[in-house]
Amino acid sequence: MQFEGRLFMREVSPDGYNDLRTLHDPAFDVHPRLIALCTNAGDVGISIMIAKATGLAVVCRSGGHSTAGNSGRNDAMVIGVRKVQHCVIDTH
C-alpha cells in the first residue's frame, strides 16, 4: 500500500499546515500534530495505521465546519476525507 494523498506536519511543512489546521470557526485554534489529506479509502486505512502505531488520537474532517470544533484537536491526527468519493468499512 502507498499513501496517495498529502501529509502535513507542523514541524516540517508550516506553510501548508497552518492553512489546513484552521477551522471554519476561528474560535477554535487547534494544532494537530499531523494532517493527512486522503484521496481514497486506502489512504484512510494507512492514516489509521500511522495513528495507531504512533499513539495519536484521530479526528476525521470532511469540511471543517463543525460548530462544536470537532474537526480538529490539539496533538492529534486529523484525517481529511473531503476528496474520498467511496469507502466500504469491513468490520471483520
- Residue appearing with cell numbers 498529502: 6
Residue 51's CB is within 10 A of a number of other CB atoms, namely 19
Instruction: Answer whether 0.75 is exceeded by the pTM.
Output: yes
pLDDT of 50 strictly over 80: yes
In the chain, DSSP assigns E strands to 6-9, 34-37, 58-61, 77-80
Contact 50, 67 (CB under 8 A): no
Give per-residue pLDDT as tens, 8-45.
Answer: 988 787 678 888 887 777 788 888 999 999 999 899 99
Q: Where are the alpha helices (DSSP H) in the chain?
A: 14-21, 41-54
Domains and CATH numbers, the chain: 6-80 (3.30.43.10)
Phi, psi (5° rounding) for residue 17? -60, -45
Confidence check: pLDDT of 64 > 70: no
Residue scoring higher pLDDT (46 or 14): 46
